[in-house]
């Protein structure tokens, strides 16, 4: 089935309560776009045009609603002095944190997005992407939250310990991280090319730290970043991996464009809890279903998500619970999109149930 509208037309129509062809759907293909485009993932480390063209190629292939300039969580820490491991054809990882002692924190400087590490590549890629697809599909700049970035400056385990051993040091790390986040987001929004912002804050997850720790060490910086972005007239989307149920209200109350949740969290409960405050996005299991499942699994899980969230008051976007594994079969991604197309819009619960019964276990 062909889409009848572009993602921008669809988003606008749904927001205005008008007719649309289907729900928005963003499989969250991440660096798997290299597989679609036909380049190695390491190409994205230095070639801004490839970053953008790979996004566009993926959009042309699947018609996904939403493209994002984002390669990995480590680019901001790297731009502040951490070392990233950059595999030839896989997603980057943290190799060596920028510092190894609390005394060194004061030496850290906010990154310059036009100069440091791979940040200029990403900023440049945003310009290309806007030229190629800007009017047709919503594009965003991905950024890691300040708290998460702090872990990549000081090392994950060491920063976890620091939360109890030296709380003020964690604040210091988050503060300097926040300056980098702001500078990067400013560079993206100063381009004035209609980009949104997506903040990833995986370390804020209730799977990692307690809600109390989140509220003390992460939330204040997240709020400052969200407010800063709002100063440009843009509301960010926030994605937090793992369980997030106990902090949903904290995040939604920041006044954001959407909350994207992991598959370990309950989509139904999330819609019930904060669906009246913000758009909910999620949460087909990226590993267990999208990567290792068969098309029938994809259909069933996608339909279950639609059933649980289609009537969320502030809107719903079908999405994976996190970035897809780079080698997720194209067939599975296509099946997710096609399932959403089959359901159509407005969503009829009866039809969803009927389709579901066809794919019951």
Partner 1 sequence: MASKEELLQSLSDCVVEMEDERVEDIAKEYLNAGYPAIDGITRGLVDGMNRTAILYEKEEYFVPELLICSDAMYNGLAVLRPHLDQAEESRKQKVVIGVVEGDTHDIGKNLVKIMLESAGYELIDLGKDVPLIKFIDTVKESGAQVVAMSTLMSTSMNNMKKVIEMLEQEGLRQKVKIIVGGGPISPAFAEKIGADGYSVNAIEAVKLVDQLTKGAA
For partner 1, the binding residues (CB under 8 A) are 85, 90-91, 93-94, 156-157, 160-161, 163-165, 206-210, 213, 241, 285-288, 291-293, 324-328
- Name the residue nearer to partner 1 (CB basis): 183 or 289: 289
- Name the residue nearer to partner 1 (CB basis): 74 or 316: 74
Nearest distance, CB of residue 269 and partner 1, angstroms: 16
Cα 104 to its chain centre, rounded Å, is: 31
Distance CA 343, CA 353 (A): 10
- Name the residue nearer to partner 1 (CB basis): 102 or 163: 163
By three-state DSSP, how is residue 238 classified? strand
Nearest distance, CB of residue 93 and partner 1, angstroms: 5
Q: Are 151 and 217 in contact (CB under 8 A)?
A: no
Nearest distance, CB of residue 237 and partner 1, angstroms: 21
Local structure of residue 43 (DSSP, 8 states):
G
Helices (H), the chain: 7-15, 33-37, 48-62, 75-79, 119-133, 146-154, 156-165, 167-190, 211-213, 219-230, 248-252, 267-274, 295-309, 330-343, 349-358
- Name the residue nearer to partner 1 (CB basis): 90 or 179: 90
Nearest distance, CB of residue 291 and partner 1, angstroms: 5
- Interacting residues of 305 by C-beta distance below 8 A, sequence separation 6+: 267, 282, 283, 284, 318
- Name the residue nearer to partner 1 (CB basis): 278 or 320: 320
Distance CA 99, CA 171 (A): 15
- Name the residue nearer to partner 1 (CB basis): 193 or 326: 326
- Name the residue nearer to partner 1 (CB basis): 262 or 338: 262
Nearest distance, CB of residue 94 and partner 1, angstroms: 7
Q: Which two tokens stand for residue 56?
A: 């566009």
Concatenate the DSSP letters of all residues of 53-92 into one string. Answer: HHHHHHHHHH--S-EEE---TTHHHHHTT-EEE--SSS--
- Name the residue nearer to partner 1 (CB basis): 194 or 211: 211
Please state the φ and ψ torsions of residue 155, each to the nearest 5 degrees.
Answer: 95, 140
Nearest to 284 by CA among 308, 318, 236: 318
Local structure of residue 166 (DSSP, 8 states):
-
Nearest distance, CB of residue 195 and partner 1, angstroms: 28
- Name the residue nearer to partner 1 (CB basis): 204 or 278: 204
Nearest distance, CB of residue 66 and partner 1, angstroms: 21
Nearest distance, CB of residue 85 and partner 1, angstroms: 7
Please state the φ and ψ torsions of residue 196, each to the nearest 5 degrees.
Answer: -95, -175
Nearest distance, CB of residue 193 and partner 1, angstroms: 32
For the four alpha carbons of 116, 30, 91 and 301, in that order, the dihedral sign comes to positive
Q: Which two tokens stand for residue 227?
A: 């407010």
- Name the residue nearer to partner 1 (CB basis): 327 or 350: 327
Q: Are 25 and 338 in contact (CB under 8 A)?
A: no
Q: Which two tokens stand for residue 188?
A: 């993206």
Nearest distance, CB of residue 292 and partner 1, angstroms: 5
């Amino acid at each position: 089935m062909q889409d009848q509208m572009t993602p921008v037309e669809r988003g606008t129509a749904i927001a205005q309560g008008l007719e649309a062809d289907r729900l928005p759907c963003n499989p969250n293909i991440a660096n798997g776009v290299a597989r679609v485009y036909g380049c190695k993932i390491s190409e994205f480390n230095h070639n801004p045009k490839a970053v953008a063209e790979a996004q566009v190629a993926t959009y042309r292939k699947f018609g996904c609603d939403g493209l994002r300039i984002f390669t990995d969580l480590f680019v901001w820490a790297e731009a502040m002095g951490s070392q990233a491991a950059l595999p030839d054809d896989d997603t980057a990882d943290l190799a060596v944190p920028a510092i190894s002692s609390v005394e060194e924190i004061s030496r850290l400087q906010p990154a310059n997005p036009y100069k440091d590490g791979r940040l200029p590549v990403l900023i440049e890629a945003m310009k290309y992407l806007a030229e190629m697809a800007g009017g047709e599909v919503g594009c965003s700049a991905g950024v890691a939250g300040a708290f998460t970035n702090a872990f990549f400056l000081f090392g994950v385990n060491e920063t976890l310990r620091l939360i109890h051993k030296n709380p003020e040091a964690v604040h210091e790390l988050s503060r300097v991280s926040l300056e980098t986040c702001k500078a990067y987001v400013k560079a993206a929004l100063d381009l004035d090319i209609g980009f949104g912002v997506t903040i990833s804050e995986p370390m804020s997850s209730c799977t990692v730290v307690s809600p109390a720790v989140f509220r003390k060490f992460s939330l204040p910086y997240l709020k400052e970043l969200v407010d800063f972005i709002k100063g440009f007239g843009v509301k960010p989307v926030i994605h937090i991996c793992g369980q997030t149920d106990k902090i949903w209200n904290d995040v939604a109350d920041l006044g954001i464009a959407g909350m994207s949740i992991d598959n370990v969290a309950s989509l139904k409960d999330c819609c019930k809890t904060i669906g009246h405050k913000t758009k909910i996005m999620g949460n087909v299991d990226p590993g267990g279903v999208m990567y290792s499942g068969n098309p029938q699994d994809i259909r069933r899980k996608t339909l279950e998500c639609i059933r649980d969230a289609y009537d969320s008051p502030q809107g719903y976007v079908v999405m994976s619970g996190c970035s897809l594994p780079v080698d997720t079969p194209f067939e599975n991604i296509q099946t997710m999109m096609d399932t959403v197309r089959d359901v159509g819009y407005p969503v009829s619960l009866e039809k969803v149930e009927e389709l579901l019964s066809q794919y019951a276990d």
